[in-house]
Amino acid sequence: MNIILLGPPGAGKGTQAGKLVDARNMVQLSTGDMLRAAKTSGTDMGKKVAAIMDAGELVTDEIVIGLIEEKLDGEAGGGFIFDGFPRTLAQADALGELLERKGATLDAVIELQVNDDVLVERIVGRARDAVAAGGTARADDNEESLKVRLMEYYKKTSPLIGYYYAKGDLKAVDGLASMDDVASSIAAVLDA
């Protein structure tokens, strides 16, 4: 089973992907993790990624699709979770073409729906809790950074909601419910 988790920054995509990896033996394909791993791999693709990232530039869709294709050729386990990809309509088209070429399908696109004001409070609260516990907060876990990230999400990624809805693939889940309730809602979508 191959799925996409959609939702704004802080909606819990990474947390829920981790639960699916544990519960269903799925493979999480986080583009951020894949790019960091490629950068240090020493492979030809890795050297290309490192040069682009070191120059402070964005990695092209073609490179990201190439990294995903390498992963799809590996061990599938219980299927793949696309986390952080696609982010644009062009990437969604490229992913669809790649899956088709591999004889694979996209089984569900799960949107973690959240209220922005509650989300901002959640993330800022998470940062406060981390500091209060003697740890450190993520550098981008503050209200201003989150609002910039949310604006970027709505400009580039939210059109995917309509795209996948029109294809009949989109399922919505309340991303503000408890972690276990969100996991149960996702399980219900996957088991339907």
Q: Which one is catalytic: 24, 48, 71, 149?
A: 149
pLDDT tens for 64-100 read 898 898 888 877 778 999 987 898 899 999 999 999 9
Catalytic, 24? Answer: no
d(CA 192, CA 123): 32
d(CA 75, CA 78): 9
Catalytic, 138? Answer: yes
Q: Which one is catalytic: 24, 48, 87, 156?
A: 87
Both structure tokens of 70: 């390498």
Q: Maximum CA pair distance of the chain? A: 50
For the chain, what is the mean pLDDT? 88
Q: Is the pLDDT of residue 46 over 90?
A: no
Catalytic, 87? Answer: yes
Closest CA to 114 of 27, 3, 16: 16
Q: What integer pLDDT is reported at residue 98 of this predicted model?
A: 94
Q: State the pLDDT confidence band at 183, using cuts at 50, 70 and 90.
A: very high
Catalytic, 36? Answer: no
pLDDT tens for 119-171 read 888 888 877 888 888 887 776 677 888 888 888 888 888 899 999 999 999 99
Q: Which one is catalytic: 24, 48, 126, 156?
A: 126
Q: Which one is catalytic: 47, 128, 138, 155?
A: 138
At residue 23, φ and ψ (nearest 5 deg) are -80, -30
Evaluate the CA torsion angle 145, 47, 90, 10 in order and state its sign.
negative
Position 76, amino acid: A
Q: What integer pLDDT is reported at residue 140 of this predicted model?
A: 67
pTM: 0.83
Q: Which one is catalytic: 13, 19, 122, 171?
A: 13
d(CA 36, CA 24): 25
